[in-house]
Structure 1
Amino acid sequence: MSSNDLKSQGNALFSAKKFKEAGKKYTEAIEAGDEAADPKGLAVLYANRAACRLSLKRPMDAKTDAKKATQLDPTYAKAFARLATSQDALGIYSDSKESWQRALDALPKFDLTPAEETQKAQYQAGLTAATAEVGKIKNTPIVGTHAIMVQGQGRMPWDHAAAILSRLRVAPTNIDQLQSSAWVIHAAYEEFMGGVSKMNELHIDPITDQMRGISGVRSCCTYIEFSNLTYPTQAIVDLTNGIMRDSRVIHFTDNEFISKYNKQMMLEVSVHKPWTEAGPEVVIREALARQRDQGWNSVRPSISCTVRAWIMRAVMDAGLRQRRHDVAVEFLKRTLDVLRSLRETWILVPALDRGVVFDKTFLFGIQHLYIDSLMKFYTSNPSPEILEDLDKESDLLIREVDEELRQPRSQEPVDPGFISSFYIYPRGQAYAMKGFSYNKRAGLKRDRELSRKAAMEYLKAADSFPQDDEYHSWFLNVALGNMFQARSFTLRELLDVMKRIRLSAPKAKDIWEHSSLSASGLWGILEGVGDQEKQLRDMLVQGTFTMDSCVAAEGL
C-alpha cells in the first residue's frame, strides 16, 4: 500500500478520534515514504503523528515528531504549532515561545484564507501565553527549602540525624533505633551533597561555548579531562540517588544551584551522549541499536544519564520552581516506560552490564516519586483518570515490593537506611496513596465505607515508617480524620490512634522540626489531636461515651 493511501486511512481514523490507530497508520506511511524524494510529504506525516500523540497525552514523543517535521519542512506552520504545543505541555516555555513565533512567520503575510486567519489567531494566542509564562518564571521566586535552610542552618533534619547517628553507631540497642528515620535522611543527604560537591568542582565558564560539541577529550567513568583539567561527570548520579533515597533532602545549597546544575548537565551530556531531545519511543529504539552496535560500555551511561536527567527535570518542575506536577508526571511516567521496556528486553543480561538503573530498587525509587507526583497533580487538577492511574501504580508498587522482599536476601551488608529508602518507604507511600484515593472517592460519593477503607490504608502507611519519622505521625493523623468520617470505629480504636500520635510526635520532632511538612503546621495539628484526646477521655469519665461507642467528629 502506498504512503498516500496509508495517510488517508490515518486521517480517517484521526477524524474518528481513534488516535492510537491513526498513529499506527501514520507510522506505516512514514516507513513507506521516501524522505529524500518527498521531504514535505514526510513532514506532514510526522506532524500528523505528533497530533495523535498530543491527543494521547504523550507530549515527549509528540515533540520528537514535530521537531522532525520542522526539520523536513522549515516552512510548515502546523509543524511548528504542534512543536510549540508539545513544548507548552512539557513546560518548556522559552522554546515554545520561539516555536509559536516560527509558526506565525511561516504563514503568508497577506491575503490569508479563512483557515489561515484562524491559524494566525491560534498561534498568536499561543505566543502570548508562552511569553506570559516565561515572564512569570523569571519573576517567581524559586520554591524549595532554601529559605528554610538559610534561617535554620544546623537545624535541618539531616543535621539532627547526624547528631543522632553519632550515638546510634556506637551502641544501637533495639530494632527501633536501627529503623530510625535518621539513617534514611542522613544517607540521602550524603548522596545529594556528593552531587553538589561535584558540581562545585566544575568551573567551565571559560569553555562553556565549547562544551556543546566537545571532542578530543579523555574520560573515565567519573571524570573527564579537558584542557589539562579534570571535571567530575557523576554529579547527576549522586543527586538523583539522594533524591530517590528521600526526596525531602531536596534543597538549594546556594543561589547559583540551578546555574551550576545546568553547566554540569551540559558537561555530562557531552560525555555520556544521552537522548536529550528524544521521546521514549526513540530512546528505546536507539538504545537497542546502540547496544547492538557499540556495546554495553557505550549504552549504559547514555541510558543512565537520560533517565536521571528526566528525574531531575521532574523534580525541578514540580518542586523547586513552577509547581508543574503534570510535567513531573509526564517525565517520571516516560522514565518508567523506558526502563520497564528495556528491562524486559534485557531481562537475562547481567546487572553489571545493563546498569543500576534497571535494578528493582531504582525502579521503586522512581515509582515512589511518580505516585507522589500523581497525587499532587490530582490535587490541582482532579480527574477520575488521574485517580485510576494512582490506584494502579500504588497497587503495582505494593505488589512488586512484597515480591522482592520475599526473595532470598544477599548477605552483603548494606547501610540500615537502604531497605527503608527503597522498599519500606515506597510501599508505605503507596499505602498512603491508596488511602488518598479512597478518601477522595468517599468525599465525592459521601460513602462512609470508603472513609473506613481510607483509614485502614493510612494506618498501614503509618506503620511503614519508624516512629521518629514525621510521616508516621502525619499518616496516623490522616487515618484518624477518616476514622471519624467513617463513624464505624469505636472510641477504643480512636483513642489508641490518638495515643500513638501523642507518643510518636515528640520523637519525630527531634529530627523533623524544620521540614517542609512542619512548615505547613504539622506540630500544631498534632498538638490539637492531644487536646482532642483529652476531651474524649473526659467525656468517657463523664459517661457520655463508652469505649465501644462509635464517635463522629461532630459529636465533640
Structure 2
Amino acid sequence: MSLNAPLAQEDGISVFDAGYYESPDGYAKDIELDPENGSRYIRHAKYLQKIGRTKEGLANAEKAVKLLPQSVDAWTCLAKAQHASLLAFYQFPKLTCPLAVWSISRKHRLLQETTVLKTESAPKPPDVRPPWERAGSILEGLKHTTINTTTSASVIYFAHRTFNQAAEVICEGDADQWKMLPYPPGLHTPALHGILEGIMRDPRCFQDRPDIDLTDMLYAQSLMELEATDGWDSDCSLDQVQRELRDRVREKGWHSVKPALRCSIQDWILFGFQVHQIEDHNPVNGLKFYKKAIAMIDFVRKTWPDVPAGDRGVVCENSFLFPLKRLALRAYLDPKHSNRSSDKHLTELEGFASTLVKEAEAELAGLDQRGIASPEGLSYWIYPIAEGYAALAWVHCRRGDRLQLPSPHFIDAFDKYLRAAVKLDEDEEYHAYFLCLAIDSMWRGGVPLKLILPSCERVRGAAPKMRKIWENSRLSATRDARILQVLEFEDEYKRKIKMGEASPEDVAVPKNWASASENDDEVIV
C-alpha cells in the first residue's frame, strides 16, 4: 500500500476499510510509485475484476505473473481474470438458484450455482454442509421464537465467523503490503487476533483455504506484527523474554510493552496450533509452545499482580487463559503424543486438568447466568471445564487398564465423563460422545445393566439433536461408531431383559468389544 494512502486510525479497523482503494486511480498511483512490484498489479487486477473491467483486470494479472512467476497468488489471480473474461465474452446468464455445496474436504471446497430438477422421484441430495453453516440456519430460526436456551450452534457459528472474517482480511493482502503500513505504536490489524480468537472459541472452526496457503499468510502476518511491536518470536527462550520484559517495563512502562507482549503470546499459540493440528501434526512440539504461552502469562500475573488488567492486556485474563489451556489439553491427549501413557505424562496431565477445572469452576460461580449462556461464556469457561473433566476421566481409564481387573478407577472415569457430558448442551457432539465414553468406563468397571441402560437412553435422545449440527465433523466417524455400539447394546439387552434372558443385575459388555488398548481411540479431536 502506498505510504500516501490514508490509514484507518482506530484500533480494530481493517486497512481494507480505509477507503483509499475505492477507485482504480488509487491502485494506479501505487503502481506508478513502484512499477516492478508484482503484488500491486495483483491488487489492481482484483479490484478491476470486482467492478467489471475484466479486460484491464486481465492485463494487470498477466503483468503480475511476468513479475512474480513463482507466486501462487499471481497465477490464481490470472486464472480468475481469464475466467471472468470468458464469462464476459459469452455473456452467460446469471443463475438465480441458491448456492449449493456439493463437496467439502480439507484441501478442496467446491462451490457451484446449479439448478436442481425437483421431481417426486428425485432423491434428496445429502446435506454435506459443515457445522458452522448448519448452525447459522438453526440460529436464524431461533430468532423468530421465544425459546431461551443455549446451543452449541452459537459456539461454532461465532467461532467460525470470527475466524473466517480474519482469514479474508489476511488472504486479501500480502506480506509486502502489510510491512509498508506506517503503524503508530500499539496499533495493529485485527487479523491475527481474529484468527486466534476464532480458534480459542472453538478449535473446530479452523478451515483450510482451497485458493491460498493460509498458513504461509499467517506466518507473514505474524512476522509483520512482531516487527511492528518489537515482540519476541517463537524461537526466543522464555528466560530471555522474561528478562527483557522486566527491563522494558522498567524503562518504558506498560503502555509500550503491552502490544509486544500480546503479539508474542499470540504468535507462540498460533505456531503451536499449526505444528500440532495443521502442518506437522506433532502434539509434543505443539504442547511445548502452548506451555510457553501459559508460563509467560503466569509470570506476568505473578510479577506485576497490582497492574490493572487494562494495562497488561486481555492475554493475561482467565477468559484468555482457560481456552488456551483447552488447546493444551488436546495436545496432551492426542494419540500421536509419544509419551501420553507414561506415568510422568499422566501425573502432569492430571495436575494440569485438575487445576483448570478448579479455577474455571470457581470463577464460573461468580458469573451471572446470562453471561454463562452466551457464546463467550460457553467457549471461555464451559468447554474448558468439560474437556478438563474428560481429561481426568481418561487418566483414570489408563490407570485402571494397568490393574487388569475391575477397578475403582473406572467408576471415577465414569463420574468424570458424565460431568463432562452434562456441562455441554445436548446438541453438542461431545455431549453424546462423552456419554458413550462414560458407558465404556462402566463396561470396563463391571457395572450391572440397571446402571448402564439409563445412560444408553440419554445417548439415544441426544444423538438426533447433535446430528442437526454435527453430522459432518472431524469427530463424526469415531463418534458415530461409539454411538452405534451403545445403541445396539441397549437394544439387545432391553430385549433380553424383556424376554427373561437377562437380568438388570447382570454384568454385560457388547459383542466383539475391543480390549482396553484396542479401544483407546481419541478422546478429544
Q: CA deviation at 1:555?
A: 10
Q: Distance in 1 between matches of 2:390 and 2:376?
A: 20
Q: CA, structure 1 residues 526+147, in 2 after alignment: closer, same or farther (shift >3 Å)?
A: farther
In structure 1, what is the equivalent of residue 107 of structure 2? Answer: 147
Confirm whether residue 245 of structure 1 aligns to residue 219 of structure 2: no
2:138 to 164, 180, 190: 164
Look up the match of 1:420: 378
1:302 to 235, 245, 260: 260
1:219 counterpart SS class:
coil
Work out which of the residue numbers 502, 512, 515 in structure 1 matches 2:470.
512
1:395 alignment partner AA: S
Q: For residue 109 of structure 1, what is the aligned residue in structure 2?
A: none
8 Å contact kept, 1:378–1:386: no
For residues 387 and 127 of structure 2, the distance between their equivalents in structure 1, rounded to whole angstroms, comes to 29
266, 271, 284: which one pairs with 1:326? 284
1:477 is aligned to 436
- State the TM-score, normalized to the length of structure 2: 0.70
TM superposition shift of 1:525:
3.3
- Whether the 8 Å CA contact 1:465–1:472 is kept in 2: the answer is yes
- Cα separation, partners in 2 of 1:410 and 1:416, compared to 1, 3 Å: closer
Q: Distance in 2 between matches of 1:410 and 1:506?
A: 27
Q: Which residue matches 1:340?
A: 298
Question: Matches of residues 281-292 of structure 1 in structure 2 within 5 Å?
Answer: 281-292=239-250
Counterpart amino acid of residue 236 in structure 1 = L
- Match among 253, 259, 273 for residue 216 of structure 2: 259
Amino acid at match of 2:141: R
Distance in 2 (CA, whole Å) between partners of 1:161 and 1:496 is: 29
Structure 1, residues 192-244: CA drift from partner, whole Å, max 9, x if none?
A: 11220220232344x68xx4xx7x92336555xxxxxxxxx231111111111
Q: 1:546 aligns with which of 489, 503, 507?
A: 503
* AA partner of residue 365 (structure 2): R
Contact 2:186 2:229 in 1 (8 A): no
Superposed counterparts of 1:48-447, under 5 Å: 146-147=106-107, 155-174=129-148, 178-205=149-176, 211=179, 217-219=182-184, 221-223=186-188, 233-254=189-210, 255-276=212-233, 277-376=235-334, 379-381=337-339, 382-407=341-366, 409=368, 416-447=374-405
User: Any idea what the Cα deviations from partners look like across 1:263-299, whole Å, max 9, x if unmatched?
Assistant: 2112212212211131111212212221221222221
Deviations 1:20-42 (A, max 9, x none): xxxxxxxxxxxxxxxxxxxxxxx
Q: CA deviation at 1:524?
A: 3.9
**Count of residues paired in the alignment:** 392
The alpha-carbon distance between structure 1 residues 473 and 197, as it changes in their structure 2 partners (threshold 3 A), is: same
CA distance in 2, matches of 1:334, 1:430: 19
For residues 311-332 of structure 1, the C-alpha deviation after alignment (integer angstroms, 9 at most, x for no partner) is 1111111111211111011111
Shift of 1:386: 1.1
Q: 2-side partners of 1:361 and 1:508: how far apart?
A: 26
Percent identity (aligned)? 26
Taking the aligned partners of 1:432 and 1:517, their CA distance within structure 2 comes to 15
Name the CA distance, whole Å, in 1 between partners of 2:372 and 2:228: 31
1:495-521 Cα offsets, whole Å, 9 max, x none, are: 111111111111111101111001x34
* Kept after mapping to 2: 8 A contact 1:378/1:387: no
CA distance in 2, matches of 1:390, 1:287: 29
CA distance in 2, matches of 1:305, 1:287: 13
Match of 1:498 in 2: 456
Deviations 1:420-474 (A, max 9, x none): 1111110000000011111111112224221221111111111111100110011
Task: Tell me if the contact between 2:411 and 2:441 (Cα under 8 Å) persists in the aligned partners.
Answer: yes
Instruction: Kindly indicate whether the alpha-carbon contact (under 8 Å) linking 2:449 and 2:508 is maintained by their aligned counterparts in 1.
Output: yes
**Equivalent position to 1:528, from 466, 485, 510:** 485
Tell me, in whole angstroms, the C-alpha distance in 1 between the residues paired with 2:350 and 2:207: 29
TM-superposed deviation, 1:253: 2.2
The one-letter code matched in structure 1 to 2:439 is: L
Match of 2:417 among 458, 464, 472: 458
Question: 1:391–1:172: structure 2 CA closer, same or farther, 3 Å change rule?
Answer: farther
The whole-number CA distance in structure 1 between the counterparts of 2:314 and 2:131 is 28
Q: What's the counterpart of residue 28 of structure 2?
A: none
Matches of 2:337 and 2:256, distance apart in 1: 41
Aligned match of 2:17 = none
Distance 1:261 1:317 in 2: 13
Residue identity matched to 1:265:
S
Deviation for aligned residue 1:379: 4.8
Gaps of 5+ in 1: 1-143, 224-232
SS of the aligned residue for 2:402 comes to: helix
Supply the RMSD in Å over aligned alpha carbons.
Answer: 2.5
Which secondary structure state, in structure 2, belongs to the residue aligned with residue 516 of structure 1?
coil
Any stretches of 5+ residues in structure 2 without a counterpart? 1-103, 112-125, 514-525
Deviation at residue 522 of structure 1 after TM alignment:
2.4
Aligned residue type for 2:497: L
What amino acid is aligned across from residue 191 of structure 2 in structure 1?
A: A
Shift of residue 545 of structure 1? 2.5
Q: Deviations over 1:330-387 (max 9, x none)?
A: 1111111110111122222111111000111101011111111111167543321111
Cα distance change, pair 373–555 in 1 and its aligned pair in 2 (3 A)? closer
In structure 2, relative to structure 1, the CA distance for the partners of 1:298 and 1:380 (3 Å cut) is same
8 Å contact from structure 2 (residues 411, 445) kept in 1: yes
Residues of 1 paired with 2:442 and 2:465: CA distance? 24
TM-score by length of 1: 0.66
User: Residue 475 of structure 2 aligns to a residue in which SS?
Assistant: helix
- CA 1:409 to 1:530, structure 2 compared with 1: closer, same or farther past 3 Å? closer
Are the structure 2 counterparts of residues 415 and 536 from structure 1 closer, same or farther at C-alpha, using a change threshold of 3 Å?
A: closer
The DSSP-based 3-state class of the residue aligned with 2:292 is helix
Rounded to whole Å, the distance in 2 between the matches of 1:442 and 1:201 is: 52
How many angstroms does 1:153 deviate by? 9.7
Work out the CA distance in 2 between the residues paired with 1:221 and 1:503: 51
Aligned-pair CA distance for 1:554 = 6.4
The alpha-carbon distance between structure 1 residues 145 and 372, as it changes in their structure 2 partners (threshold 3 A), is farther
DSSP 3-state at the match of 1:159: helix
